[in-house]
């Protein structure tokens, strides 16, 4: 029983680091702001809190880029991309594609639609190759006519 659960590896690390830098940077900047400016203005607690809040929102936005994932087994495949999600049976999948120069894998469906699989990214090299091989194996075992 082959099961695949995949998420982008490098992108997740990069997003975590970037979110931490943005969050820490907004807190550090809020703490470093002087009480008054040279022009007579002032930074109050509300201004500092708003700066931290904006930093947190930006950090959450960065972490959202690491949202893609894929789960597949012999019955179905669930693809979650940045915005869209799909739950498909293997009957509607015609091919698993990963062509040279593509940023991620994709699924060709029987109705000539193509779905990006952003969880399986080219930048992850061997991890991506293993995921695509597993997906193709699951598809092949489902398409085999002698399957019981």
Q: Which residues of 44-67 are buried (b: 16+ CB within 10 A; e: fewer)?
A: eeeebeebbeebeebbeebbebbb
* Residue percentage of the chain with pLDDT more than 90: 75
The Cβ-side half-sphere exposure at 28, using a 13 Å CA radius, reads 6
Tell me the pLDDT tens digit for each residue of 59-89: 999 999 999 999 999 899 999 999 999 999 9
56/99 Cα distance (integer angstroms) = 37
* Residue 41 confidence (pLDDT) above 90: no
Q: Tens digits of per-residue pLDDT, 2-15?
A: 689 999 999 999 99
* pLDDT of res. 107: 96
Which residue has better confidence, 32 or 35? 32
Q: Work out the pLDDT band at 145, boundaries 50, 70, 90.
A: low
Please check whether residue 52 is in contact with residue 27, taking contact to mean a CB–CB distance below 8 angstroms: yes
Which one is the CATH code of 69-143: 2.30.29, 3.30.110, 1.10.30, 2.40.128?
2.30.29
C-alpha distances (whole Å) from 82 to each of 67, 68, 94, 116 are 6, 6, 23, 10
What pLDDT does residue 56 have?
A: 96
Which among 71, 90, 78 has a CA at the least distance from the CA of 143? Answer: 90
Single out the residue of 83, 84, 91, 88 nearest to residue 71, CA to CA: 88
Return the structure tokens found at 42: 């002032």
């Amino acid at each position: 029983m082959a099961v695949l659960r995949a998420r982008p590896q490098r992108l997740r690390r990069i997003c975590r680091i970037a979110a931490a830098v943005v969050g820490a940077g907004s807190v550090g900047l809020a703490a470093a702001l002087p009480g008054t400016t040279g022009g007579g203005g002032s930074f109050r607690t509300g201004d500092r809190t708003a700066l931290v809040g904006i930093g947190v929102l930006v950090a959450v936005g960065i972490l959202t880029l690491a949202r893609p994932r894929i789960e597949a087994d012999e019955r179905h495949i669930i693809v979650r991309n940045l915005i869209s999600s799909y739950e498909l049976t293997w009957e509607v999948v015609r091919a698993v594609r990963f062509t040279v120069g593509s940023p991620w894998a994709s699924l060709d469906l029987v109705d000539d639609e193509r779905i990006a699989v952003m969880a399986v990214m080219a930048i992850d090299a061997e991890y991506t190759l293993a995921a695509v091989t597993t997906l193709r194996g699951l598809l092949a075992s489902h398409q085999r006519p002698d399957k019981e």
